[in-house]
Amino acid sequence: MASIGGSEFDCIVVCDTETERQELVKELRRFEGYRIREERRDWVNMAYTGPTLDGDVLPQEYMNLHDCLVERGFVQKYSYWGSRRFEKSRDGNA
Model-level pTM? 0.72
Tell me whether residue 94 is in a domain. Answer: no
Domain that holds residue 33: 4-88
Distance, CA of 10 to CA of 82 (rounded, Å)? 6
Distance, CA of 71 to CA of 55 (rounded, Å)? 27
Q: What pLDDT shows up at residue 54?
A: 60
Domain count, the chain: 1
Q: What pLDDT shows up at residue 73?
A: 92
Reduce the DSSP state of residue 93 to 3 states and report it.
Answer: coil
Tell me whether residue 11 is in a domain. Answer: yes
Query: Whats the size of the chain, residue-wise?
Result: 94
Q: What angle do CA 30, 64, 25 make, to 5 degrees?
A: 40
One digit per residue, the tens of pLDDT, for the chain of length 94 reads 344 455 667 888 999 999 999 998 888 888 777 888 888 999 898 887 766 656 566 677 778 888 989 999 999 887 776 678 889 877 655 4
Tell me whether residue 93 is in a domain. Answer: no
